[in-house]
Amino acid sequence: MKTDSFAFRAELVSLLPRLRRFALALTGRQDSAEDLLHSAVERALRNWGGFESGRRLDSWMFKIIQNRWIDMRRAQKHTSFEALGDGDLPGEDGREIVEMRDEMRAVRAAFGALTEDQRVVLALIVLEDLSYAQAAETLGVPIGTIMSRLSRARAALSTAMQRSVVVPMRRGK
């Protein structure tokens, strides 16, 4: 049993970057994502004996994170999605950096404006590269629901990004 526990913990540690990214996609804030991830990992470690062999650990953890997120939101009654902070973006000159940051702000705002269900599905499919079937299993919904939410999320992002097209500045000759 100790070997099983060790293997479980080792696999869980290897998933931490993906789990952190998923938590950040849900919360929109680094500090909240870390709290959510900590809470989910703690719950998983406490209940590792209930993990069914043959099931994917990443799917199990994504579900725990989503359930903890729902619990945290219910406890807080109302928490708005806050756009992620600006990170340093590479660029050749100041104009390119400013343009990239503007585009990232628009993407973050569009992502934050999605419904929570759409953000979750988009994060699982696009960021975590889960198949539709894996996402459906993780969320406990039919595959058609995954496809519908993903389609609506992509359409909403596309519309939002078309509205916020950044026109590059041109230098005079």
Residue 156 sits in which domain range? 95-167
The answer as to whether 88 is a domain residue is no
The answer as to whether 84 is a domain residue is no
Q: Of 77, 109, 142, which residue is a domain's last? A: 77
**Same domain as 101, residue 72:** no
CATH assignment at residue 54? 1.10.1740.10
pLDDT tens for the chain, 173 residues long, are 344 778 888 899 999 999 999 998 888 888 889 999 999 999 988 888 888 777 888 889 998 998 898 888 877 765 455 544 555 545 456 777 777 777 778 778 888 888 889 988 988 888 888 889 989 988 889 999 999 999 999 898 888 888 765 445 444 44
Q: Of 77, 107, 140, which residue is a domain's last? A: 77
**Same domain as 99, residue 73:** no
Give the whole-angstrom CA distance, residue 113 versus residue 121: 14
Tokens found for residue 114: 């999605």
**Same domain as 55, residue 21:** yes
Whole-model pTM? 0.63
Tokens found for residue 156: 């909403």
Overall domain count for the chain: 2
Q: Of 29, 49, 77, which residue is a domain's last? A: 77
